[in-house]
Amino acid sequence: MQEMMKKRATELLADGTCDRVLGWAVGDFVYDQTPALFRTEEELQKGFVYNGFSAANLSKYLVKECRAGGKIAVFLKPCDTYSFNQLMAEHRIKREMIYVIGIACDGKADVEKLKEQGIDGITDIKESGDSYVVSTIYGDKTVKKAEVLAERCVACKSRKHMVYDELIGEEGEVIADSGRFDMVEKLEAMTPDERYLFWRGELSRCIRCNACRNVCPACTCEQCIFDNPRSGVSQKAAANSFEENMFHIIRAFHVAGRCTDCGECSRVCPENIPLHLLNRKFIKDVNTFYGDYQAGEDPAAKPPLGRYEKNDIEPGEAGGVKA
Amino acid sequence: MNTETLIPYVGIVTEITQQTPDVKTFRVEAPGGGKLFEHKPGQCAMLSVPGISEAMISITSSPTNTEYMEFSVKKCGCLTEWLHAMEVGQMITVRGPYGRHFPVYDELLGKDLMIIAGGIGLAPVRSVINYVRDNRDKFGTVDIVYGSRSKDDLVYYKEIVDEWMNTEGFNVHLTIDNPQEGWDGHVGFVPNFVKELNPDLNKTVLMCGPPIMIKFTLAGLMDLGFKKEQVYTTMELRMKCGIGKCGRCNIGNKYVCKDGPVFRFDELDELPNEY
Amino acid sequence: MKKLSSAKLNEFFAAIAASRALYLPVDNSRGKAEYKKWEAGVEMSRALNTVRSAKDFFFPQTENLMEFKMEGKKVEVVDTRSEAEDFVIFGVRACDAASFKILDSVYLTDPVDSYYKTRREHGVVVTLACGKPAETCFCGVFGIDAANPEGDVTAWETEGGLMLRANTEKGEALLEATAALLEEGDEAAVQAAQAKTREILKKLPLSDLSTEGLGVGKTAELFDRPEWKTLSEACLGCGTCTFVCPTCQCYDVRDFDTGNGIKRFRCWDSCMYSDFTLMAHGNSRNSQVERFRQRFMHKLVYYPDRSGGTFGCVGCGRCLSRCPISMNIVKVMKTMGGKN
């Protein structure tokens, strides 16, 4: 796969389809890849990597790249294409500047899951069928890919690309029974007190690094209200637990109906807070209240929270507490 | 001296003078009268209105003034807008003094001085000017070149005309950017004016003003044959602590709050161009 | 050298906790280690290190500095600090212990930060030598010995139990206070444990990372290097690296209106944030390239310049495992340094 991608990237640079390719650059331990731009064949040969750890969703970088001009080729996994479409729908990126190479994906590994199995001192990781062979300074270990699949990939919603100019690998299907709302349902079944405890337990670890916001393809405000010193809510650290909760809840509200459930927020959280659950709750509610809707499926679709219909649900109608 | 570095003194604003449409000078005294603390010319203090914010402001009064401190503030942000809106009798908080002062106690002694300023940039060097006036025998001649956008934007105008212009050994050269009714003085930008004045190369220069003025004036001085070792300036960057700990006002390995704000240009030459 | 048999570990913790707060790494609901207050039943984590560093004990993420009473034109400053609690931190690794010296060099040099100083005085640090370092570890590059950490007391895990060595008066007092539980230590067991760890350290993939071309006096050479642009290209501008870093010490001071007074608090700040150097009239570090450069120049050049050559990094590896885009100080050192 990696070699095919490298080859295509080289060709696209050579034939002028693009002047740079957005992909992943090799790190020190196989799993620590950095999103990077490749401008020459030499750069591709030296640094381009694609494997089971190429997790980052590259679509948000296109906002910046579209402003820089030129023509960009980008590798997008199926879930990344939803973000791409959503960015298109919000006019944050220019389709004509971008050449999308869809790449098949059967799920990404989470190195932390490897480490949870007691694997440390990693020096190399090789794919072998449905397993990873991990070389470490403490000896070699083999683990099943399924055991170290990233949480978001366990509940993968689609292996089908929503947009591409060309495809590498085999196209998959939308997965109807992904089970991605299972945990949301568990949370809904809790009493308010239990739920509050659950979220306090998670959110109290927040260090307000803003990684979730900065990586989020739905967060593309020129200046976030939480960064605006004149907003009165710009904070680098929460002054109390109320603020700690509200940052994430407000953010979830802001991306409601626009979040494609790409899972980047939870992937990057240094404290492993399952932030995607907040977003999934909104996605589930939107489905319930306005009919099934998947952000990023169709860039021309009218978002449910961006239109009004006479038979729209009234506040309180869905149950819960009336304001 | 307050040993608690971040805990400020409370001062009372006892007089407010509108200097220009957007600059006011605030006289600050301790609640029981007198100065909150002693300082040296060119040093700064953190001024704050609790609930708004805190910012580093140069102390514009001379240390020879034994009764009060003065701060001249241009209205340009949250805190400064609040300061401009306050009335006499308002308490604010002050902590300091911070930073390296102009070397009036050693290197500048006996020297002929040329003080170049633009706009509100006169505020930090006013402390030096009045210190020199009060220690007239310790320094040579003093040339002051001061320019602003218009006559109305010249700060301390009355003091300049009534006091500085009448001080023995002082030569004051004023300029404004564009011709204006009621102005028969020099018209033009400070950098050009300095060149026209063709100052003697033995002078030591103290300079403060907008970055663009500094840049061109320095280039002009170099053309005239001045060396960077004879030119001082004072810098301004974002600060939170004032004591070299909060980590943001550095230029390379120097903290402006602690190692500056006064720098000699040969010293700045060794620092990266990030200010 | 003293010895604590494994069976008496909980008794030991209880003895310490009887007179003061005891904090140690504990696994949280996500299986990651964080410092928690010990109480009966709390198990120490087996993880190599905590997600957040131990700097939090001396330089917390937020702390109230003072309050202001405002009435009409009157302002009153109230120092709201109460008496500081005595505490012990158990299980600090060599890297974090070394970071305290770096924090000290900032906060305890004139003018001394009394908030920090008080906590330093009230805290006793018990370090734990590493037995199973990770691939992200590179403390040795900065002369830190993971097999012989500093701290008031150093502990080694050996087959016979925990070996404890007091390094300071505070440390001696701690071992004195728990003497009833301790036996005579076994120097040879410590040496064996150290030898084992040092063998592993040699095999770490980053053990040969070099600081050549970095450090004192390198500003002019490194500042304008074009690689800053490519290195920072993918940077999200989040604060993860700075917040998990044990040596990042920058802070912001903010006021908070409680409704019946003003609280002035200090909180961690990050040079990666766009408003870090923002002033009313402009920003001295306008783009992420400059902010990114600042962070690494600070650790690799500016701090060494100001501290006689000590680097501002302790090689704990947190930024390696936590950066959302896996850009980190090792990649910067390899790109900017002379010999990697």
**A230 and A87 assigned to the same domain:** yes
pLDDT surpassing 80 at residue B191:
yes
Mean pLDDT by 10 residues, chain A (323 residues): 96 97 95 97 96 96 96 97 97 97 95 91 93 94 95 95 96 93 96 95 93 96 84 71 85 95 96 96 93 93 87 76 45
ipTM for the complex? Answer: 0.92
Nearest-angstrom CA–CA distance, C333 and C2: 40
Mean pLDDT over each residue of chain B, to the nearest integer? 94
Task: Collect all residues of chain C within an 8 Å Cβ-Cβ radius of residue A267.
Answer: 324
C113 → closest Cβ in B8, B78, B245:
B245
Q: Is B1 on the interface with C (CB under 8 A)?
A: no
A141 beta partners: A134
Query: Residue A312 domain-assigned?
Result: no
Number of Cβ pairs < 8 A linking chain A and chain C: 131
Query: Residue C231 domain-assigned?
Result: yes
Structural domain for A11, as ranges: 2-110+149-306
Contacting partners of chain C (3+ CB pairs under 8 A): A, B
Query: Residue C69 domain-assigned?
Result: no
Residue of chain C whose Cα is closest to the Cα of B98: C111
C30 → closest Cβ in A36, A227, A272:
A272
**C20 and C149 assigned to the same domain:** yes
Burial of B106 (C-beta count, 10 Å sphere; 0-12/13-18/19+): exposed
Nearest-angstrom CA–CA distance, A15 and A13: 6
Minimal CA separation from B245 to chain C, in Å: 6
CB contact under 8 A, C62 and A123: no
CB A256 within 8 A of CB A286: yes
Query: Residue A323 domain-assigned?
Result: no
CA distances to B150, C220, C330, C340 from C335, in Å: 51, 16, 9, 7
Nearest-angstrom CA–CA distance, B255 and B1: 22
**C199 and C230 assigned to the same domain:** no
Query: How many helices and strands in chain B, by DSSP H and E?
Result: 6, 15
Contacts of B161 (CB under 8 A, 6+ apart): none
**C198 and C290 assigned to the same domain:** no
Query: Residue C211 domain-assigned?
Result: no
Minimal CA separation from B253 to chain C, in Å: 4
Residue of chain C whose Cα is closest to the Cα of A271: C51
Q: Is B259 on the interface with C (CB under 8 A)?
A: no
Residue of chain C whose Cα is closest to the Cα of A32: C326
Nearest-angstrom CA–CA distance, C194 and C201: 10
Minimal CA separation from C335 to chain A, in Å: 12
**A42 and A186 assigned to the same domain:** yes
Per-residue pLDDT, C141 = 96
A21 beta partners: A38, A73
Task: Collect all residues of chain A within an 8 Å Cβ-Cβ radius of residue C51.
Answer: 270-272
Query: Residue C210 domain-assigned?
Result: no
Q: Which residue has the tokens 């920072």?
A: C232
C75 → closest Cβ in B53, B93, B240:
B93
> Could you report the per-residue pLDDT of B2-45, keeping only the tens digit for each?
567 899 999 999 999 999 999 999 999 999 999 999 999 999 99
3-state secondary structure of A216: coil
Question: Total domain count for chain A?
Answer: 2
Contacting partners of chain B (3+ CB pairs under 8 A): C
Domains of chain B in sequence order:
9-98 (2.40.30.10), 113-234 (3.40.50.80)
Query: Residue A59 domain-assigned?
Result: yes
Minimal CA separation from A58 to chain C, in Å: 10
Per-residue pLDDT, A323 = 41
CB contact under 8 A, A209 and C204: no
CB C185 within 8 A of CB C231: no
Q: Kindly give the pairing relationship between strand A34-38 and strand A20-25.
A: antiparallel
Domain boundary among C203, C231, C255: C203
Q: Is C271 on the interface with B (CB under 8 A)?
A: yes
Q: Which residue has the higher pLDDT, B48 or B78?
A: B48
Biggest CA–CA distance in chain C, Å, is 71
Minimal CA separation from A210 to chain C, in Å: 5
Query: Residue A298 domain-assigned?
Result: yes
**C152 and C226 assigned to the same domain:** no
A35 → closest Cβ in C52, C234, C328:
C234
Domain boundary among C174, C203, C232: C203
Query: Residue A44 domain-assigned?
Result: yes
Query: Residue A313 domain-assigned?
Result: no
Residue of chain C whose Cα is closest to the Cα of A235: C254
CB contact under 8 A, B5 and C68: no
Q: Is C113 on the interface with B (CB under 8 A)?
A: yes
> Could you report the per-residue pLDDT of B95-151, keeping only the tens digit for each?
999 999 999 999 999 999 999 999 999 999 999 999 999 999 999 999 999 999 999
Per-residue pLDDT, B1 = 42
Q: Is B16 on the interface with C (CB under 8 A)?
A: no
Say how many CA atoms lie within 13 Å of A215 toward its Cβ. 29
CB B194 within 8 A of CB B203: no
> Could you report the per-residue pLDDT of A157-208, keeping only the tens digit for each?
999 999 999 999 999 999 989 999 999 999 999 999 999 999 999 999 999 9
CB B132 within 8 A of CB B144: no
Report, as an integer, the average pLDDT of B172-185: 94
Query: Residue A318 domain-assigned?
Result: no
Task: Collect all residues of chain C within an 8 Å Cβ-Cβ radius of residue A227.
Answer: 273-275
Domain boundary among C203, C230, C250: C203
Query: Residue A214 domain-assigned?
Result: yes
Question: Total domain count for chain C?
Answer: 2
> Could you report the per-residue pLDDT of A65-74, keeping only the tens digit for each?
999 999 999 9
**A189 and A295 assigned to the same domain:** yes
Q: Which two tokens stand for residue C38?
A: 């010990």
214-233 in chain C: CB under 8 A from chain B: 219-220, 223-224
Query: Residue C212 domain-assigned?
Result: no
End-to-end CA distance of chain C: 40
CB contact under 8 A, A137 and C324: no
**A170 and A241 assigned to the same domain:** yes
Task: Collect all residues of chain B within an 8 Å Cβ-Cβ radius of residue C111.
Answer: 5, 243
Nearest-angstrom CA–CA distance, B116 and B61: 17
Query: Residue C213 domain-assigned?
Result: no
Task: Collect all residues of chain B within an 8 Å Cβ-Cβ radius of residue C266.
Answer: 6
Angle at A82 between CA A78 and CA A85, to 5 degrees: 130
**C97 and C154 assigned to the same domain:** yes
Structural domain for C249, as ranges: 219-336
C204 → closest Cβ in A36, A137, A205:
A137
Query: Residue C66 domain-assigned?
Result: no
CB contact under 8 A, A28 and C330: yes
Nearest CA to C106 among B246, A16, A20? B246
Q: Which two tokens stand for residue B98?
A: 């911070």
Residue type, A46: K
Task: Collect all residues of chain B within an 8 Å Cβ-Cβ radius of residue C249.
Answer: 245, 247
Nearest-angstrom CA–CA distance, A88 and A217: 11
How many other CB atoms are there within 10 angstroms of residue C334's CB atom? 14
Q: Which two tokens stand for residue B132?
A: 């020199």
Nearest-angstrom CA–CA distance, C302 and C218: 9
Query: Residue C102 domain-assigned?
Result: yes
A270 → closest Cβ in C51, C133, C331:
C51
Per-residue pLDDT, A314 = 83
Task: Collect all residues of chain B within an 8 Å Cβ-Cβ radius of residue C309.
Answer: none
Contacts of A15 (CB under 8 A, 6+ apart): none
Helices A78-89/A61-68 angle, 10° precision: 60
Per-residue pLDDT, A319 = 65
Low-confidence ranges of chain C (pLDDT < 50): none
CB contact under 8 A, C331 and A267: no
**C84 and C55 assigned to the same domain:** yes
CB contact under 8 A, C73 and B253: no
3-state secondary structure of C136: coil
3-state secondary structure of A12: helix
Nearest-angstrom CA–CA distance, C291 and C300: 14
CB contact under 8 A, A270 and C48: no
Fill in the DSSP letter of residue A269: -
Nearest-angstrom CA–CA distance, C269 and C248: 9
Residue of chain C whose Cα is closest to the Cα of B75: C280
**A119 and A229 assigned to the same domain:** no
Per-residue pLDDT, A204 = 92
**A123 and A224 assigned to the same domain:** no
CB contact under 8 A, C280 and B52: no
**A119 and A192 assigned to the same domain:** no
CB contact under 8 A, B243 and C111: yes
> Could you report the per-residue pLDDT of C137-159, keeping only the tens digit for each?
999 999 999 999 999 999 999 98
